[in-house]
Chains A and B, each alone.
Chain A
């Protein structure tokens, strides 16, 4: 159960980030040229690989309880950000994430930028793609390293992320446009729920307490977070309508 949950969480979180990175790479590629955009993608991927390769093995040297405490606290702070935004979007207090709109905005910015050649590359296209992939990829790396190390299996978390990468790359190559049909807002909600669930579970274990039934209590924590989120969406929707 925990392994499947771990892979699914890493897959969903990574898929969301890869869809966002794809939008930026496409915008840079279409407006500034594919060579620069793909060079930026490659350079960022290399930088991310170095970060994961350096941090992953180092974290496994830290005692598991200390690691779960730190990772649990980080995931809770990080996960609650996702969950809060997702609840605000679902209840109408925040605009929905729109990949087509972001694509159009990135394209407009890329078209308006001046032309500067460095190392034979269009520098704006390269940096736009590099920054986009690096920033979205850092979130993936953060999730893979924290999930994997706290559960003692970076490989499984990396597997979930790798499947997401391959899937998004294949669909992106096929569609050659922003993946507007991906239910990104729903995915972000699911990721917020999962990050918060793991955060509650590991921070409690890291603080020295023990869940009844150990890992078997994870589904109960998940159910609690889902009910809490659904209740929050319902309350905020009613409140918004009452004040409308």
Chain B
């Protein structure tokens, strides 16, 4: 394995870990928040329930 690939895998595992769907869900929620802000909606209320949903789904997968 090349050193670059190993370095990339280390950081992927470090930040994303074994549940990439959670990281993707977070990015999606942030994107929606930014889109709503761009449309003139101060969407500060979006991230807390989005995180709750991402966490619930992740726990459901892990506890099956």
On A, residues with C-beta under 8 Å from B are 69, 72-74, 76-78, 80-81, 83-84, 87-88, 91, 93, 138-139, 142, 196, 199-200, 203-204, 206-212, 217, 221, 224-225, 228, 232, 236, 239-240
Residue ID in chain B nearest A81 by CB atoms: B17
Q: Are B22 and A228 in contact (CB under 8 A)?
A: no
Distance in angstroms from A238 CB to nearest chain B CB is 12
Q: Quick check: is B51 within 8 A (CB to CB) of the other chain?
A: yes
Q: For residue B27, which residues in chain A have a CB less than 8 angstroms away from its CB?
A: 73
Interface contact tally, CB-CB below 8 A: 95
Size range of the chain B interface in the assembly: 20 to 34
Q: Are A210 and B19 in contact (CB under 8 A)?
A: no
Q: Are B56 and A200 in contact (CB under 8 A)?
A: no
Residue ID in chain B nearest A239 by CB atoms: B63
Query: A209's contact among B14, B33, B52, B58, by CB below 8 Å, is which?
Result: B33
Q: Are A142 and B14 in contact (CB under 8 A)?
A: yes
On B, residues with C-beta under 8 Å from A are 14-17, 19, 22-23, 26-27, 30, 33-34, 36-38, 42-44, 46-48, 51-52, 54-56, 58-59, 62-63
Q: Are B30 and A77 in contact (CB under 8 A)?
A: no
Q: Are B58 and A80 in contact (CB under 8 A)?
A: yes
Distance in angstroms from B58 CB to nearest chain A CB is 5
Extra contacts besides A80-B58, A81-B22 (14): CB < 8 Å: A73-B26, A73-B27, A76-B26, A76-B51, A77-B17, A77-B26, A80-B54, A88-B59, A88-B62, A88-B63, A199-B26, A203-B30, A221-B48, A228-B52
